[in-house]
Homo-oligomer: A and B are copies of this chain.
Amino acid sequence: MHSVIFEPDGRRREVPEGTTVLEAAQAASVHLNAPCGGTGLCGGCRIIIPDDPPPPSENCLRILTGEELGRNLRLACQVRVRRDLRVVIPEETRLGDQKILTDGVGRPVALEPNARKVTVHLPPPSLGDQRADAERLLDALAEHGLGDLAVEDPVLRRLPERLRSLDFHAAAVVLGNRVIQVERPTTGEACYGLAVDVGTTTLVGYLVDLVTGETVAVASRANPQTAYGDDVVARIEYCGRQKDGLKRLHDLLAGAINEITAETCRRAHVKPSAIYELCAVGNTTMNHLLLALPVDTIARAPFVPASAAARWTLARGLGLRAHPRSRLYAAPLIGGFVGADTVAVILATGMHERAGLALAIDIGTNGEIVLGGRERLLACSTAAGPAFEGARIRYGMRAAAGAIDRVDLADGRLALHTIDDAPPVGLCGTGLIDAVAALLEAEVLKPNGTMRAPEELRERRCALADRVVRTDSEAAVVLASDGHAGLAHPILLTQRDVREVQLAKGALAAGIQVLLDLYGATIGQVETIYLAGAFGNMIRPDRARAIGLVPEVPLERIRFVGNAAGAGARMLLVSRSLRRTADDVARGVEHVELGQQPQFQARFADAMFFPAPHPTGA
């Protein structure tokens, strides 16, 4: 038996004499790129045998260049183990060893993170090898397929002392084309990143192990900027009004992200200093507030941000806690209010690669809509979302314990369900949709959204007639009354609440129609509708369709993709090539400014109506 050590990850395997290195690698669960199956034909399984490599086989001579042979490259399938062996697997060969980030929502993506930790064993300097410390380190990293790097200044200042104290065995953290850290090799496995979906209302952070691609902890926070305005326009106005307003909103956001970092790290037993890169997706305003860029030109015509391209910035400079030399990758924006979160949704759904026509609707505080496929994509933003997040709804609330999240019509009466079966406190987004759908089905609401008077309902023998009351000079439906166990106050759905729902779903529906018009397509041609957003998975599609929140399509065409923006952020965190795709997508998507579309107002007016009730609802 001989021992084979595979670098850079240092796995070791005892194998019998005569085993090929490829077989030894398979036995050690080190997956090499070997499309021809180890027959010496394809040249995929290039490896390096640094010390005293065996003479090249005929296939090696045929496939490898003289320069490659000189660098001790061989084909793993062609080398038989005759003694203890150290084998270095170059980057290109490891591509076959791609780990997959799978996610219920996002798509699989090859693990190719921008931050990598590589263990290197450097020959100590001698009079026969006077290479400078930095070049010694970079040469070793190049042997691992990481070429064209530079050592960052603060690392270089400590490098001579550090390398000598570690006897020239070290773990180097490579971020992009920079070496940002050199530490003891025992930390070799600890290499993390944080993906953040920066929403106007909610922040969600995912701590990702960059070695395995797995998400090891998730945490969320309300966006503390909400205290300065529910929506982005209010926050932009605050920045214009208040000296230091931009700094204050930036600091609040950074502070909340730091809380998420702390919480995810605590839960996963990870030091925040082992986070080497952060990836943020957010709409244009959130992106700029996070990057501390001026926002005032975003909110007034012609709605121009300071910068749309992806940014890569020292995290510490933005007040973000992680490794001191870590960077924040802020994904690119599309235009106007349509930001990186929409890019992330496109990447997570894969609609930019599909031949067929798809529609993505991301309902957050704003509602973003994307229509198209591989050839062409259109996107717009509507001020559609906050109603479903509880804003501007009399008893609206977020999806928390006590929120009415489901409303059914059973024998003409309302049946409520609350989160955690707690006594009802208010109405969350799904409950709001359900309630409106139920009241439409019961014909308490007319298709134009007007609530029928109790008298009319009694005439129509509607079982809900007694629930319609008049309060504060407007009509309302009592969803839960004082009689309900433990209820502090009755929970009403008011006429104004219904109008908010109409405005929200009308803006979305009008946006969809405008994009279809511009694309020259009809809703019938759309093969898939992706419904994204924090509460998307909770929506019951028939109810959403009943109120016209989603178009009139067969239900099987609707796919709930949950927090696709967060999934896209994680994909971007672990894949450098996907970042290039993101640049292309962000530049390629046609941004439609709805306010500038002559037909938008008419479409909006039409879309305020609810669909006629389905026959089954009669």
Knowing A127-B593, A130-B302, A153-B317, say if A308 contacts B160 (CB, 8 Å): no
A135 within 8 A of B: yes
Which B residues lie within 8 Å of A293 (CB)?
A: 156-157
Which B residues lie within 8 Å of A593 (CB)?
A: 127, 130
Nearest residue, chain B, Cβ from A150: B309
Instruction: Determine which of B129, B161, B306 lies in contact with A160 in the assembled complex, contact meaning CB atoms within 8 Å.
Output: B306
Which B residues lie within 8 Å of A542 (CB)?
A: none
Using a CB-CB cutoff of 8 Å, which residues 147-164 of chain A contact chain B? 150-151, 153, 156-161
Contact flags (1/0) for A37-74 with B, using CB distance below 8 Å?
00000000000000000000000000000000000000
User: Is B302 within 8 A of A127, CB to CB?
Assistant: yes
User: Is B596 within 8 A of A133, CB to CB?
Assistant: no
Instruction: Determine which of B159, B317, B335 lies in contact with A306 in the assembled complex, contact meaning CB atoms within 8 Å.
Output: B159
Instruction: Determine which of B153, B297, B317 lies in contact with A313 in the assembled complex, contact meaning CB atoms within 8 Å.
Output: B153
Instruction: Determine which of B130, B297, B303 lies in contact with A591 in the assembled complex, contact meaning CB atoms within 8 Å.
Output: B130
A441 within 8 A of B: no
Knowing A156-B293, A160-B294, say if A309 contacts B134 (CB, 8 Å): yes
Nearest residue, chain B, Cβ from A301: B127
Instruction: Determine which of B130, B301, B303 lies in contact with A336 in the assembled complex, contact meaning CB atoms within 8 Å.
Output: B130
A132 within 8 A of B: yes
Which B residues lie within 8 Å of A126 (CB)?
A: 302
Which B residues lie within 8 Å of A297 (CB)?
A: 125, 133, 160
A333 within 8 A of B: yes
Instruction: Determine which of B133, B153, B308 lies in contact with A135 in the assembled complex, contact meaning CB atoms within 8 Å.
Output: B308
Nearest residue, chain B, Cβ from A593: B127
Using a CB-CB cutoff of 8 Å, which residues 317-336 of chain A contact chain B? 317, 333, 335-336
20 A-B residue pairs with CB within 8 Å: A125-B297, A125-B304, A127-B303, A127-B596, A129-B302, A130-B593, A131-B308, A132-B308, A133-B304, A134-B307, A134-B309, A135-B309, A138-B309, A151-B307, A153-B291, A153-B317, A157-B292, A159-B307, A160-B297, A161-B294
